[in-house]
Homo-oligomer: A and B are copies of this chain.
Amino acid sequence: MAIIVDKEQKKKDIALGTKALILKDGINNITISQIAKAAGIGKGTVYEYFKNKDEIVFELVEILMQEHNKQKEAELSKFTSTREKVKSFFSFFYIDADKELREIYKQFTAIALSSTNEDMLNFQTECYFLYEKWMEAIIQEGIQNKELKPEIKELIMGIFAFAQGAFIMSVTTNAITDLQQKIDNQIDMLFDLMEER
């Protein structure tokens, strides 16, 4: 036997090594050669770890999302009011701290829309269910405290799609100038309707 490299770790290293480049120019505007150079490996080696350029963005999203999820989980526990928890949850779409992940996520969404990839589908599905679970727990708390009417559940789940859509619109149109205001406002309206008084 000879060297055994940790394939998963090396994938991560390569992806992270090209992160800056992908953020700056977008995956469609950079070449495999540039990627190899940025990651400090040979062109052929890239193909030992990734089938194509798109998969590198996928790997990056997975890494950064996982990190993000950890932070978010900690963050959520800091808030006491249900409303603030929900707002904090969706802050991903506008806070400056998540700017990089957001850009990668944008590029990843473009990829997901134009190719069909089982792994990507499964990843996105898992994310969806994870977030749904979180949100359910948050809401449940509010309902048990008698802060909220039980009917809020499905409405709040709709905020997932709303926030995603608003984000896409903010990128693809000039019509949405203040995404945070848009999202927070929607959450406030729903909570105002659903608060037990």
The chain A residues found within 8 Å of chain B, CB to CB, are 26-28, 106-107, 109-115, 120-122, 124-125, 127-129, 132, 151, 154-155, 158, 160-169, 171-175, 182, 185-186, 189, 193
Contacts and interface: CB of A to CB of B under 8 A. Distances in A.
Nearest to A105: B113
A154 B185 contact: yes
Contacts of A165: 160-168
Contacts of A110: 109-111, 113-114
A171 B149 CA distance: 32
B28 A114 contact: yes
Most chain B CB within 10 A, of A122, A124, A129, A182, is at A124
B162 A124 contact: no
A113 B27 CA distance: 12
Main secondary structure, interface of A, reads: helix
Contacts of A122: 174
Given A28-B115, A110-B114, A186 B171 contact: no
Contacts of A120: 172
A168 B174 CA distance: 19
Contacts of A27: 114
B114 A107 contact: yes
A175 B128 contact: yes
